[in-house]
Chains A and B, each alone.
Chain A
Amino acid sequence: MKRSKWIWLVWAVVLLSYLVPYTLLSGVALWYGSFLFWAVAGLVVIALNVFITKDFEEHSND
C-alpha cells in the first residue's frame, strides 16, 4: 500500500474526534475523559504524519 493512503487513518482519527467525546465520553468528567482522548488523538496524528512523509526524505532535489 502506498504510504499516502495512510492519510485515511488521519481522517478516521478526525471522525472519532467528533464522535467519541460527544457520545461515549460525554459523561466522563475526569482528566482521562475527553481531555485525554483528544490529547492522544493529537499524538496519533503526529505519528501518522511522520510515517506518511517518510518517503519525502528520499526525493531527489533537482
Chain B
Amino acid sequence: MTESLIWWSIAIYLVIAIGIAILSRQGPTESMSGYFLGNRQMNGFVSALSYSATTYSAFMMVGLAGLTYAGGVGALGFEIIYFAGVSLVAIFGPKFWAVGKKFGFVTPSEMLGHRYNSKHVAMAVSVASCIFLIPYSAVQLAGVGYLLQGITDGAITFTTGVVLATVIAIFFSYVAGIRSVMWTDSLQAIMMIVASTLVAYLVVQGLGGFGALFDTLATQHPQSLTVPGSGLFSFVTFLGLTIPWFFFSLSNPQVSQRLFMPASLRSMRHMLIGFLVFGFIYTMVSVLWGFSALAAFPSLERADLATPTLLGSEFVPPVLGVIVMIGIMAAAVSTIDSIMLTLASMVSRDVYANVKPNVSEKRQLLVGKFVVPVIALMALGFAELQLDLIAVLSVAASSGLVAMVPAIIGAFYWKRGTSAGALASVVGTSTFVLLMYATGNSLLGLPSGVWGIVVASGLFVGVSLATKPHQASTDAFFSAIAEELGKKKRRLVTDQATKEAAA
C-alpha cells in the first residue's frame, strides 16, 4: 500500500461523497424538521442504507471480527440478539411516526417531554444522551486514527486520521443537514458492504473454502464454535452485553430519531427490512473475518489485530485493502455525523428552547447549527486526549442509554407513567451505570448491562405509582396515535361499504 495510492483513493472518495452531498440539497431549509428530519419526506431505500451505516460503526469490521477471534461464535449470537432487537421498530416505529407527524416532534426527547408534560424530562434525556454519546463518538474517532495509522504504517498519522474524519463529518452535516448525511451514508453503506463481503469471500477462498475453514476451526479451535467456549462468553457476560444492545433501536436517539423521518409507513417498512438484510450480511461477513483470522493467524498478540492482520495478508489485494480502509473510515464518519446532528437537535430543541422559552424555529436552527461543530470538536478533543474516563463513558454508553427505555415503552403502553417516574428513571439509571463502571462493573456478580434495565424499570414503575400522571397530555398522546394509525382502517371500511352497496 503506497502512500500515493492511499491519498488518491481518499481524494476520489471525497470527490464522489461531496458530489452526492451537494446533489442531496433541496432548496434552503429554515425549519428544524427540514434540517434535522429531511421534512419527514425520506424514502425507504436511502433510509435503510443510512440507518445501517449509522448503526454499524467502525466497531463491526474491527471490533466484531476481534470479538469472534477472541471468543468464538458467541460474537455472532451477541449480534443476532441485537439484530432481533431492531424488530422493536416494527412495533414502536409506526407509533413514533404517528405522534411525530401529529405534534411535529423533532427529537425523541421532545416526544418524551411532551408525553409526560415535563421540560425536565426532555432536558434530562438530552443531557444524558450527550454524556454517553460524545465520548462514544470520540472513541470511534480514535479508533479510526489508530486503524489508519496501523494499516498505512504511519503514512497517515493518528492525528491526521482523526482530524480528517472530523472535518468530513462536519462537512457532511453542514451541506444539507440530515439529507446530506443520509445520502452520503448510503454511499458509505454500499462501500462498506461491497468491500467487506469481497474481503470475506477472498479470504475464505484463500483458506480453502467454507468447508475447509470450519474443518480447521473444528479440529484446531473447537472451543471457538461453541459457547461459553473458551470462557469469554460466559452466560452472565453474554447477558450483560446483549441486553443493552437489544434495546439499541429505542435507546439510541440517533436511530430512534430516524423513526420520525420516513415519508410514509411504507418507507418505514422498507427502511426496516432493508436494514435487516444489510445487517444480516454484514454480521455474517464480520464474523467470518474473525474466524478466518483465527484459522490463518492463530497466535496474534491481541484480538483487535485480527482485522489489520487480515487486510495486510496475502489474501487481500492492496487496492481492496485501501477500499476497506476507506470503508472503515466511512463507517466511523457515518456514525459520528448522525450522532452530531441528533445531539445538536436535542441541545437546541430540548435544552436551549426550554431554558429560553418562545424562541423561533429559525433561532433554534441557528443554535443547532452552531452546536454541530462544538460537539464534533469536543469529540475530537477527547479523542486526542485519550483520557481513561472517556473510554469508560464510551463503554458505558450502551448500558447507560438503557435508562431511557422504560420511559419510552411506558409512553406508548402505560398511561399510568408519570414525569417524576421518567425523570427518576433517566437520571437515576444514568448515575447508577456510571457508578457501576467507576467501581468495577459488578454488583452481586452481575454487570451493569443486566442491572441497567432492572433499575430503570424499577424506578420508572415505582416512582410513577407514587405520583400522579398528567391526564390531558396522556390522553392527547394516545388519541393522536389512534387517529393517525386508524386512517387506513377508515379507508378500508369505506371501501368495503362501497363494495357492499354496489353488490
Q: Which residues of A contact B (CB under 8 A)?
A: 4, 7, 10, 13-14, 17-18, 21-22, 25-31, 33-35, 38-39, 41-43, 45-46, 48-50, 52-53, 55-62
Contacts of B87 in A (CB 8 A): 7, 10, 45, 48-49, 52
Question: How many contacts A-B (CB < 8 Å)?
Answer: 128
Query: Can you name 16 A-B pairs with beta carbons within 8 Å?
Result: A4-B90, A7-B91, A14-B84, A21-B73, A22-B235, A22-B238, A26-B228, A31-B217, A33-B225, A33-B226, A35-B76, A49-B272, A56-B265, A57-B265, A59-B488, A60-B491
Residue pair A57, B266 in contact (C-beta under 8 Å): yes
Q: Which residue of A lies closest to B279 (CB)?
A: A42
Apart from A34-B76, A48-B87: 4 A-B pairs, beta carbons within 8 A: A26-B228, A27-B226, A34-B73, A34-B227
Asked if B321 is an interface residue, CB under 8 A from chain A, the answer is: no
Q: Which of A41, A53, A58 has the most CB of B within 10 A?
A: A53
Residue pair B273, A53 in contact (C-beta under 8 Å): yes
Partner of B225, one of A30, A41, A42: A30
Known: A26-B228, A33-B225, A56-B269. A10 touches B73 (CB 8 A): no
Residue pair B227, A52 in contact (C-beta under 8 Å): no
Asked if B317 is an interface residue, CB under 8 A from chain A, the answer is: no
Q: Which residue of B lies closest to A43 (CB)?
A: B280
Distance in Å: Cβ of A22 to nearest Cβ of chain B: 6
Complex Cα–Cα for A36 and B470 (A): 49
Residue pair B276, A55 in contact (C-beta under 8 Å): no
Known: A61-B263, A61-B266. A45 touches B84 (CB 8 A): yes
Q: Which of A21, A30, A48, A59 has the most CB of B within 10 A?
A: A59
Distance in Å: Cβ of A39 to nearest Cβ of chain B: 7
Complex Cα–Cα for A56 and B223 (A): 44
**Chain A proximity mask over B239-259: 1 for CB below 8 Å, otherwise 0:** 100100010000000000000
Contacts of B76 in A (CB 8 A): 34-35, 38-39
Complex Cα–Cα for A57 and B419 (A): 35
Complex Cα–Cα for A21 and B323 (A): 36
Asked if B10 is an interface residue, CB under 8 A from chain A, the answer is: no
Residue pair B91, A4 in contact (C-beta under 8 Å): yes
Residue pair B218, A29 in contact (C-beta under 8 Å): yes
Q: Which residue of B lies closest to A50 (CB)?
A: B273
Main SS at interface, chain A = helix
Residue pair A52, B90 in contact (C-beta under 8 Å): yes
Residue pair A42, B273 in contact (C-beta under 8 Å): no
Residue pair A42, B283 in contact (C-beta under 8 Å): yes
Contacts of A29 in B (CB 8 A): 218, 222-223, 225-226
Distance in Å: Cβ of A15 to nearest Cβ of chain B: 10
Distance in Å: Cβ of B236 to nearest Cβ of chain A: 11
Complex Cα–Cα for A2 and B77 (A): 29
Asked if B197 is an interface residue, CB under 8 A from chain A, the answer is: no
Chain B: interface size category? 35 or more
Asked if B492 is an interface residue, CB under 8 A from chain A, the answer is: yes
Distance in Å: Cβ of A36 to nearest Cβ of chain B: 10
Asked if B175 is an interface residue, CB under 8 A from chain A, the answer is: no
Contacts of A46 in B (CB 8 A): 273, 276-277, 280
Contacts of A7 in B (CB 8 A): 87, 90-91
Distance in Å: Cβ of A40 to nearest Cβ of chain B: 10
Residue pair A45, B276 in contact (C-beta under 8 Å): yes
Contacts of B492 in A (CB 8 A): 58
Distance in Å: Cβ of B235 to nearest Cβ of chain A: 6
Distance in Å: Cβ of A29 to nearest Cβ of chain B: 4
Distance in Å: Cβ of A7 to nearest Cβ of chain B: 5
Asked if B80 is an interface residue, CB under 8 A from chain A, the answer is: yes
Known: A38-B73, A56-B269. A31 touches B214 (CB 8 A): yes
Residue pair B80, A49 in contact (C-beta under 8 Å): no
Residue pair B488, A55 in contact (C-beta under 8 Å): yes
Distance in Å: Cβ of B481 to nearest Cβ of chain A: 13
Residue pair A30, B488 in contact (C-beta under 8 Å): no
Residue pair B226, A49 in contact (C-beta under 8 Å): no
Residues 262 to 311 of chain B near chain A (Cβ within 8 Å): 263-266, 268-269, 272-273, 276-277, 280, 283-284
Known: A26-B228, A56-B266. A31 touches B84 (CB 8 A): no
Distance in Å: Cβ of B498 to nearest Cβ of chain A: 16
